Amino acid sequence: MTNAEPVSSGPVEGAWKYIRIADGIREEIRAGKRQGRDLVSIKYLSQEHGVARQTAAKALRLLEREGLVGRFPGIGYVVAHDAEDKDP
C-alpha cells in the first residue's frame, strides 16, 4: 500500500469525499472566486458537505500540498497569492 493520494482533474462521481471537496474548492480558486480571501473553516466545510471534520481537513491539506492554499495558526487556511497560475 502506498501513501500516494489520487488527484483528479475535476469532480468525479464516486470519488472519495475529500477529493470531491478539494475539487470544488480548486475550481473556485482557479476561476478567481476565492482569490486573496480566507477559505471557509473546516467546521463550515464539514457541515456544508455532511462529512466529518477530519474529511474536510484532509481536503484542505491536499490543496495545501498542491500549493493552492496556505495554513496559518490562528488564522486558518487562505488562498495562495499565485494559486490561479498553478497548473493542475
Q: pLDDT tier at 2 (50, 70, 90 boundaries)?
A: very low
pLDDT digits (tens, 9 = 90+) for 29-78: 888 887 766 677 899 889 999 999 999 999 999 999 999 998 888 888 88
Q: Are strands 76-79 and 69-72 parallel, antiparallel or unpaired?
A: antiparallel
pTM over 0.75: no
pLDDT at residue 3 is higher than 60:
no
Domains of the chain plus CATH, in order, are 17-79 (1.10.10.10)
Q: Is the distance from CB of 54 to CB of 78 less than 8 angstroms?
A: no
Q: Is the distance from CB of 28 to CB of 35 less than 8 angstroms?
A: no
Q: Is the distance from CB of 52 to CB of 42 less than 8 angstroms?
A: no
Side chain identity, residue 31: A
